[in-house]
């Protein structure tokens, strides 16, 4: 799987359950079960649904990143009409990959 330099290896997954109080958190771990990050109910004003959604999005990041890289490579290998490379969404995708450090 393609990943940004110095990132934790994917896939990532949400490893811990929601604690019963508003200061609970969810841990996102890498494939070696090392923590990547934690989301906190405190950071979303106790809204555990938002905390869970944030953790799920973070856990999906390596797979989404690899899919974006594959799509860009497919476009750049002339499998798509060259007009797409001039589109804003293409440049947004390239900027997102660069922001991720790749």
Q: Tens digit of pLDDT for each residue in 26-41?
A: 889 999 988 888 888 8
Q: Please give the helix or strand (H or E) that residue 2 lies within, else none.
A: none
Q: How far apart are CA 99 and CA 50, in angstroms?
A: 24
- Does residue 20 register a pLDDT over 70? no
Return contacts of 50-56, CB within 8 angstroms, 24+ apart: 51/18, 51/24, 51/25, 51/26, 52/14, 52/18, 52/26, 55/14, 55/26, 55/28, 56/14
| Beta strand 35-40 pairing with 13-14 | unpaired
Most confident of 6-10, 60-64, 72-76: 60-64
């Amino acid at each position: 799987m393609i990943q940004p330099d110095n990132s934790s290896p994917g896939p990532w997954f949400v490893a811990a359950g929601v604690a019963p109080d508003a200061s609970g958190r969810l841990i996102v771990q890498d494939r070696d079960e090392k923590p990547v990050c934690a989301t906190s109910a405190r950071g979303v004003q106790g809204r555990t649904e938002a905390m869970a959604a944030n953790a799920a999005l973070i856990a999906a990041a390596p797979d989404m990143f690899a899919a974006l890289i594959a799509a860009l490579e497919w476009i750049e290998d002339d499998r798509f009409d060259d007009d797409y490379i001039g589109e804003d969404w293409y440049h947004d995708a390239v900027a997102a990959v660069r922001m991720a450090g790749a």
